[in-house]
Structure 1
Amino acid sequence: MSTDRLAQLSEAGVSIWLDDLSRERLNSGNLAGLIRDKHVVGVTTNPTIFANALSKGDAYDEQVNELAARGADLDGTVRELTTTDVRNAADLFRDVYNATNGVDGRVSIEVDPRLAKDTEKTVAEAKDLWKTVDRPNVMIKIPATEEGLPAITAVLAEGISVNVTLIFSVERYEAVIKAFFAGLEQAKANGHDLKGIHSVASFFVSRVDTEVDKRLNAIGTDEAKALLGEAAIANARLAYAAFEKLFATDRWKALAEAGANAQRPLWASTGVKDPAYSDTRYVDQLVVKDVVNTMPEKTMDSVADHAEITGDTVSGKGEQAQAIFDKLSAAGIDVPDVFVTLETEGVEKFEKSWQELLDTVTGQLNKARG
Structure 2
Amino acid sequence: MSRLTPKEQEKNGQAVIRDFHVMAESDATGINRYGVLRMDVDSLGQLLSGDKLLYTDLIHISALSARLDYFFGAVLDKICQAKAESWRQSTQAWEGQLKKVYPPADQRKVPYIIYAGGDDLFIVSTWDVLPHLAREIRQKFGEFCLDRLTMSGGIAIGRPKFPLYKTAEQAGQALEQSKGREVNDQFNLVGQKDALTFLGTTLSWTDLDAAQDLVQKLTDLLVGPAGDHAPRSLLQMLNYVAQLYQLEAGPTLEGETIKLGRWLPTLHYGIRRFQRRLPASLKPKVAALPLSILELNGPANNASKLRRSIRDQLSRVRTGWTTIRYLALPVRWTEYLTRKEE
**Fold shared, TM-score > 0.5 on shorter chain:** no
The TM-score, its normalising length taken from structure 1, stands at 0.23
Which protein has the bigger helix share? 1
Larger Rg: 2
